[in-house]
Amino acid sequence: MKYPGEQLKITEMDSSQVVEQIAERRADIGFTGTVLEKKHCKYLPFYRDEMVIITPNTEKYRSIKNTSKDISWIRKEHMILREEGSGTRKEAEKQFRSLGIMPEELNVVASIGNQETIKKSVIQGLGISVIQAWP
């Protein structure tokens, strides 16, 4: 080991908090889900996420998946998103805009800071969400 007396500390936070930590020199390196600002940080892309819509596994959503490529139906659904400073949320909102759906048109019923909690909330029927796809 190069630094045997040192211990690596990993802290989970949303993208805006990561940028804040770097800008205030409280962290040396950070990982974000999107580019937030370029004044204090240099961004080096190393991975591109795919975003997916997740829904409860019900007949209603299976039929939507099998019959339509149009996602305008999403405006009527209860939506669970990541918290405001999240890169995942910013990227999801960017994708919605590209599809003609403004973020303010969404019926956001919850903002949650943890992807696993979002998945569990969707399974329980609290709403649908957009998350990062994992292989």
The domain 51-132 having CATH identifier 1.20.120.330: the answer here is: no
At 6-22, the pLDDT tens digits run 888 888 888 888 999 99
> In this predicted structure, what is the pLDDT of residue 9?
82
Nearest residue to 50 (alpha-carbon basis) of 133, 107, 135, 123: 133
At 44-93, the pLDDT tens digits run 888 787 889 999 999 999 888 777 778 899 999 999 999 988 888 988 99
Asked if residue 1 has pLDDT above 80, the reply is no
Q: What is the DSSP letter of 126?
A: S
Asked if residue 120 has pLDDT above 80, the reply is yes
> In this predicted structure, what is the pLDDT of residue 135?
58
Q: How far apart are CA 96 and CA 103, in angstroms?
A: 7
Q: How far apart are CA 92 and CA 97, in angstroms?
A: 9
